[in-house]
Amino acid sequence: MSLGPTTSPTLLERIASGDDVGFSEFERRYSSMITSLGHLYRLDDRECAELVQEILLIFFRKGDRFRFDPKRGKFRTYLGKVIHDSASDIRRRRPVGSSGLPPETEDPAPTPDETADRVLLQMMCDDAMEQLLAHLRERVSPDTYRIFEHYVLKQHSPSELLDGESIGRNRIYKVKQRCLELLRRESREMRRNDPELRFYFD
């Protein structure tokens, strides 16, 4: 099997190219990222839940579909800015005296700070890797993926048995090269939209 015209693009590719992305898919994929960044911006659990809802409303208030305009720049930068601004608004709405910091020092920056951007980039890389592996699993045989997962992803020694079976080094090498080729081909497409994405096989 090989990646061809029928390959379904990853969510990040679809967002970056302006394709429609549904509410439930966006929520499932990004809620945990938004919550993590909310904690980074010193929101409590209740405020993080509020942040997630606000971000979803921002993206979907004009309907139940979201389209990102790539002319705005990288989706990661756009998402980070929206999260930062919403988190700042939530902190500003806190009752007076609810925070130990003076109001003027609570807002870290007018744009997403470097720490938040690094965290969001790592989350995006992890998410993209998860999508790449899911696509790979769909495109190779179960046996091929099982070998790749055991000897490449989990880094077991070629001398170790796989479910009681001895796998030859030549076969492991061929599986590794084939799978990495597929992953690299698709990751190149992802990086057209965000060149800073990095993966373990780079």
Q: What is the mean pLDDT of each run of 10 residues along the chain (202 residues)?
A: 37 64 78 89 91 87 67 78 90 71 45 70 86 93 95 92 90 96 89 83 83
Residue-level length of the chain = 202
Match 């990646």 to its residue by tokens: 3
Closest CA to 1 of 182, 196, 190, 195: 182
Angle value at C-alpha 42, between 85 and 38, nearest 5 degrees: 55
Long-range pairs, 65-70, Cβ under 8 A, ≥24: 65/20, 65/21, 65/22, 65/23, 66/15, 66/20, 66/21, 66/22, 66/23, 66/26, 67/18, 67/19, 67/20, 67/21, 68/15, 68/16, 68/18, 68/21, 69/18, 70/16, 70/17, 70/18, 70/193
Match 């997630």 to its residue by tokens: 52
- pLDDT for 99: 54
- pLDDT for 112: 44
Residue 143 makes CB contacts below 8 A (sequence gap 6+) with none
- pLDDT for 167: 92
- pLDDT for 3: 30
- pLDDT for 102: 41
- pLDDT for 8: 44
Q: Is 149 exposed, middle or buried (0-12, 13-18, 19+ CB in 10 A)?
A: middle
- pLDDT for 14: 66
- The Cα–Cα gap between 129 and 112 comes to 24
For the record, the structure tokens of 61 come out as 């208030």
Torsion of CA 13, 18, 21, 25, to 10 degrees: 30
- The Cα–Cα gap between 202 and 200 comes to 6
For the record, the structure tokens of 72 come out as 């705005």
pTM over 0.75? The answer is: no
User: Up-side HSE of residue 114: CA atoms within 13 Å toward CB?
Assistant: 0
What are the two backbone dihedrals, phi and then psi, of residue 21, each rounded to the nearest 5 degrees?
A: -130, 130
- pLDDT for 16: 60
